[in-house]
């Protein structure tokens, strides 16, 4: 049983929202399941067995609600663009055909479409999302601005996910395994020192810290770092002027650190997604 009105916001919604160079029928076709093959470039590599079993039970009871999306290879072969979980579950319950949209696309576009479809799933963890963003950036030369438009997310949201990939591997695995959530990770990422990041992470796991408590710990670390900065080599007057100009230009706190050998760093701080968004826009204009 196919309910055409219950299609959700999957790949079809993205295609309707922003046309891309594909062609083919927009009607629903019943395709023999033995003619369908998984996409070898499927971004998702792990399929939860329990979730598949639940989906199979639902399909057995009420049928396919949302058709899958296929690319026609030849008369007897189709490749999955979106909907491999539905395909696998349908095979489990012995369906011989499955409703599908048929699209025509080249190999590169199929991968891009599959990646973007993957981002619409609610069960992805933050690291899977970040890696998908990274792959779209690297393989399809997308800027963060273009990427945010393509996937329908704010530029700051895309930037926050990509920043997770700079965390130590142990923390990334904890995010992937849902031991800590995005709120914890966003607090940890503001710390520059990986050793301190791991120290905060260990406290989260050991003491079951809330996001608010982690943010408080990070603020305390910032205060200690500020005190350490006071013992650094005095900043030359011209550097103080540069710090002031940067603060006025970017509209966010600026920290200028310099040691007695003349080496140092400039840090721009932001307090919200909105401030990050403004910073990214200013960087784009400078570029």
Tens digits of residue pLDDT in 180-236: 988 999 899 888 788 889 999 999 999 999 999 998 888 877 655 555 555 555 566
The C-alpha atoms of residue 4 and residue 65 are separated, in whole angstroms, by 8
> What pLDDT is attached to residue 235?
60
Q: Mark which of 103, 133, 156 sits at the end of a domain.
A: 103
Residue 259, C-beta contacts closer than 8 angstroms, at least 6 positions apart? 232, 233
Is residue 227 domain-shared with residue 240, that is, in the same domain?
A: no
Whether the CB-CB separation of 154 and 277 falls below 8 Å is answered with yes
The C-alpha atoms of residue 180 and residue 173 are separated, in whole angstroms, by 9
Q: Mark which of 81, 103, 125 sits at the end of a domain.
A: 103
Whether the CB-CB separation of 234 and 214 falls below 8 Å is answered with no
Whether the CB-CB separation of 171 and 180 falls below 8 Å is answered with yes
> What pLDDT is attached to residue 144?
84
CB atoms within 10 A of CB 100: 26
Is-catalytic flag, 215?
no
CATH of the domain at 74: 3.90.1530.30
Is residue 53 domain-shared with residue 43, that is, in the same domain?
A: yes
Write down the pTM of the prediction: 0.52
The C-alpha atoms of residue 106 and residue 72 are separated, in whole angstroms, by 10
| Residue 48: pLDDT over 50 | yes
> What pLDDT is attached to residue 232?
53
Catalytic residue selected from 79, 84, 112, 117: 84
Domain assignment of residue 216, yes or no: yes
Q: Left if phi > 0, otherwise alpha if psi is -120 to 50, otherwise beta: which for 152?
A: left
Query: What sign does the dihedral 115-116-120-124 (CA atoms) show?
Result: positive
Local confidence band at 7 (pLDDT 50, 70, 90 cut-offs)? very low
> What pLDDT is attached to residue 51?
84
Task: Kindly state the tokens that stand for 233.
Answer: 């080599």
The total number of structural domains that make up the chain: 4
Residue 49, C-beta contacts closer than 8 angstroms, at least 6 positions apart? none
Is residue 221 domain-shared with residue 264, that is, in the same domain?
A: no
Domain assignment of residue 14, yes or no: no
H/E run at residue 171: helix 169-176
The C-alpha atoms of residue 118 and residue 83 are separated, in whole angstroms, by 9
* Residue-number span of the structural domain to which 92 is assigned: 28-103
Domain assignment of residue 94, yes or no: yes
């Amino acid at each position: 049983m196919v309910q055409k009105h219950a299609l959700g916001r999957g790949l079809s919604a993205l295609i309707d929202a922003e046309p891309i160079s594909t062609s083919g029928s927009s009607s629903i076709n019943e395709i023999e399941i033995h003619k369908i093959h998984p996409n070898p470039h499927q971004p998702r590599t792990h399929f939860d067995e329990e979730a598949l079993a639940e989906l199979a039970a639902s399909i057995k009871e009420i049928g396919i609600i949302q058709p899958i999306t296929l690319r026609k290879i030849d008369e007897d072969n189709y490749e999955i663009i979106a909907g491999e979980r539905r395909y696998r579950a349908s095979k489990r319950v012995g369906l011989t055909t499955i409703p599908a949209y048929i699209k025509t696309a080249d190999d590169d576009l199929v991968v891009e479409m599959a990646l973007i479809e993957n981002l619409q799933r609610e069960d992805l963890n933050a690291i899977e999302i970040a890696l998908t963003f990274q792959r779209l950036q690297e393989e399809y030369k997308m800027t963060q601005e273009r990427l945010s438009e393509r996937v329908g997310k704010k530029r700051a949201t895309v930037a926050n996910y990509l920043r997770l990939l700079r965390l130590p591997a142990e923390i990334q695995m904890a995010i992937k395994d849902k031991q800590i959530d995005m709120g914890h990770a966003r607090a940890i990422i503001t710390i520059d020192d990986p050793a301190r990041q791991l120290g905060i992470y260990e406290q989260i796991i050991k003491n079951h810290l809330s996001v608010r408590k982690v943010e408080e710990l990070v603020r305390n670390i910032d205060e200690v770092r500020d005190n350490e900065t006071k013992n650094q080599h005095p900043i030359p007057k011209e550097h103080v002027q540069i710090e002031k100009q940067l603060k006025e230009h970017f509209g966010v706190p600026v920290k200028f650190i310099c040691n007695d050998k003349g080496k140092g760093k400039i840090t721009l701080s932001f307090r919200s997604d909105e401030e990050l968004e403004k910073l990214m826009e200013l960087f784009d204009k400078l570029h």
